[in-house]
Amino acid sequence: MEKIEGEEKERKKERLTPEEIERIETEKRLKDWIPKTKLGKKVKEGKIKDIGEILKKEKILEPEIVESLLNLKSDLLFIGQAKGKFGGGKRRAWRQTQKKTKEGNIPTFSCMVVVGNGDGYVGIGYGRAKETLPARAKALRNAKLNIIKVERGCGSFDCLCQEKHSIPLKTQGKCSSSRIILFPAPQGTGLVAGDEVKKILRLAGIKDIYSKTFGQTKTTFNLAKATINALKKLKHY
């Protein structure tokens, strides 16, 4: 009887979409969560319900705090490249490196994850492990711990709507040789940016924006960090 029930559960799980599976796993994790910090205990008890208050005063050390206060979505950034002739392989989410030892080559996988609620909160995280799934789990955890609030507005001179669909003013960010400048745009413009930058801006809740990049923009790792750096500067507005 137990085997039949187990098989039925597996079949139901196969029918679900990845987003639904992630949501079920998050609910289960939050149910079994035992907070270790004072902040975590307050959130678990329901004393703190606004993540904006936490980000102003304290540092988040438990990813469950973010999970319980925000309805997050996640996406993988393409930081790796598949093998191809003369380096012409397709971009992929996993970056593979190898270490030479006496026993042979030891492969390591790394990935970068972006999380956000589509309404002003976004974060990126990097994870590295000997297998792909643990690397993704580490990156997802780090992304939740690195969550930031993005100030949105309508700073374009072509638009006077006063809605939070773009950014309030021009901003720029830099990481290593990658540099990005973000400009406010009127409604209907869309996200005029690279594919990987679009993922970050979309999860941050920005709908219209212009961008300009400089330097080694093919290095997605640095370009993503530069984008987050530019969005961080908006909090001083």
Kindly state the average pLDDT of the residues 190-210. 93
The contacts of residue 234 (CB under 8 Å, 6+ apart) are: 150, 151, 167, 168, 169, 171
* Locus of tokens 């638009």: 159
Q: What is the pLDDT of residues 5-40, one digit of tens each?
A: 555 555 555 567 767 777 888 888 888 888 899 999
Which tokens in the block code for residue 202?
């979309």
Q: Are strands 91-92 and 95-101 parallel, antiparallel or unpaired?
A: unpaired
Q: What is the pLDDT of residues 111-156, one digit of tens each?
A: 999 999 988 999 999 999 999 999 999 999 999 999 999 999 888 8
How many CB atoms are located within 10 Å of the residue 215 CB?
16
Report pLDDT for 205.
92
Quickly count helices (H) and strands (E) in the chain. 8, 11
Going from the C-alpha of 105 to that of each of 10, 68, 100, the distances in angstroms are 36, 41, 5
User: What DSSP designation does 88 have?
Assistant: -
Residue 193 has pLDDT above 80, yes or no: yes
Q: Mean pLDDT for the chain?
A: 86
Report pLDDT for 6.
56
90, burial (CB in 10 Å: exposed 0-12, middle 13-18, buried 19+): exposed
Report how far residue 114's alpha carbon sits from residue 132's, in angstroms, rounded to the nearest whole number: 16
Q: Any idea where the domains of the chain sit in the sequence?
A: 151-236
The contacts of residue 201 (CB under 8 Å, 6+ apart) are: 191, 193, 209, 227
Report pLDDT for 213.
94
Report how far residue 150's alpha carbon sits from residue 77's, in angstroms, rounded to the nearest whole number: 19
Residue 3 has pLDDT above 60, yes or no: no
Report pLDDT for 52.
86
Binning the chain into helix, strand and coil, the percentages to the nearest 5 are 40, 25, 35
Report pLDDT for 112.
94
Q: What is the pLDDT of residues 39-98, one digit of tens each?
A: 999 998 888 888 888 888 888 999 999 988 888 899 999 988 877 666 567 888 888 888
Report pLDDT for 11.
55
Which tokens in the block code for residue 110?
């790394």
Report pLDDT for 111.
93
Report pLDDT for 26.
81
User: What DSSP designation does 174 have?
Assistant: E
Task: Report phi then psi at 112, rounded to 5.
Answer: -125, 130
Report pLDDT for 236.
61
User: What DSSP designation does 217 have?
Assistant: T
Nearest alpha-carbon partner for 231 in 158, 161, 153, 157: 153
CATH fold of 151-236, please?
Answer: Ribosomal Protein S5; domain 2 (3.30.230)
